[in-house]
Each structure stands twice: as C-alpha cells, then as structure tokens.
Amino acid sequence: MLAVFFLILPYLFLKNAFVCLSFAMAIAMLIIAFFNYHVSVAKDVRFKKRFLEMAGISFGVAAVSFFIGFLLRFFLNVDI
C-alpha cells in the first residue's frame, strides 16, 4: 500500500498530468530498484539483470495500458 501511495502522490499535488506521470514513472523506477536490490542481496543474484527485467515488464505493461486507454478515448470520444 505504501508503494501505491507514493505512486499517486504526484497526482494529489500537481495539476499537469504529464508532469505527474513523469514523477510517477520515476518513483516506480526507484521502487523497482529498491525491491530488486533487496532480492539481489537476500538471494545473491545479479541486480542489473533482475532490475532491467522487472523495469521492462513494468513499463511495458504501463505502455500497453496507456495505448489501450488512448484508443478507447479516441473511439468512444471520451474527454476528461
């Protein structure tokens, strides 16, 4: 829950959605790095490989979700 709190924090204080998204992506990168560092120390595995894998998966899912939302917004003519 703490990770989610930090990810939505920029949206509570800033108005520009793109600036908020940039901050949320940076925070997500830090959270991924923190957890992967912990796992790499605890399990004695390589940090860089795990970090790049998890960051790629996380940001890949985020990009696909954004693209689906963009398409839905375009085809359903919804503007928020």
80 confidence band (pLDDT: 50, 70, 90): low
Name the domain count of the chain. 1
Angle between helices 2-13 and 17-43 (to 10 degrees): 160
- Confidence bin at 73 (pLDDT 50/70/90): confident
pTM of the model: 0.79
How far apart are alpha carbons 48 and 70 in whole angstroms? 32
Amino acid letter for position 35: F
Residues 52 and 72: their CA atoms lie apart, in Å, by 30
Helix, strand, coil percent content, the chain, rounded in steps of 5: 85, 0, 15
Domain boundaries, position 72: 2-76
